[in-house]
C-alpha cells in the first residue's frame, strides 16, 4: 500500500511531468519530502519546493514546460 507521501509525489509527477514516476525517482523525492517534513518544514511548503524542482528539470523544459511562456519581471 502506498504511503501518503508516495501518493502526493505520484500526483505531482503526473500533474507536472505527465507520467507516473519511476521507482527510483519516486523513492528519492519521497525521502526528500519526508526528511523536510521531519525537520519541521510545513508539508505544503515541502511539496511546493519539490514541485518547483520538477519545473527546473530538463524533462519539464522538453515536455509540458515547453508549452509555458516564460516571462521576466524587471529583467529577472
pTM above 0.85, yes or no: no
Which pLDDT value is given to residue 35?
98
CA distance 18 to 40: 30
What's the confidence (pLDDT) of residue 1? 93
Cα-based distances in Å from 63 to 23, 41, 72: 20, 30, 21
pLDDT attached to residue 7: 97
Spell out the per-residue pLDDT of the chain, length 76, in tens.
999 999 999 999 998 888 899 999 999 999 999 999 999 999 999 999 999 998 888 876 776 566 666 555 665 5
∠ CA 60-47-17, nearest 5°, is 20
**Predicted local confidence at residue 17, as pLDDT:** 86
Grid cell for residue 42? 510545513
Amino acid at each position: 500500500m502506498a504511503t501518503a507521501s508516495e501518493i502526493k509525489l505520484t500526483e505531482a509527477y503526473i500533474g507536472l511531468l505527465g507520467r507516473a514516476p519511476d521507482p527510483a525517482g519516486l523513492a528519492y523525492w519521497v525521502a526528500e519530502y519526508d526528511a523536510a517534513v521531519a525537520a519541521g518544514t510545513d508539508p505544503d511548503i515541502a511539496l511546493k519546493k519539490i514541485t518547483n524542482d520538477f519545473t527546473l528539470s530538463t524533462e519539464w523544459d522538453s515536455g509540458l514546460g515547453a508549452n509555458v511562456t516564460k516571462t521576466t519581471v524587471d529583467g529577472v
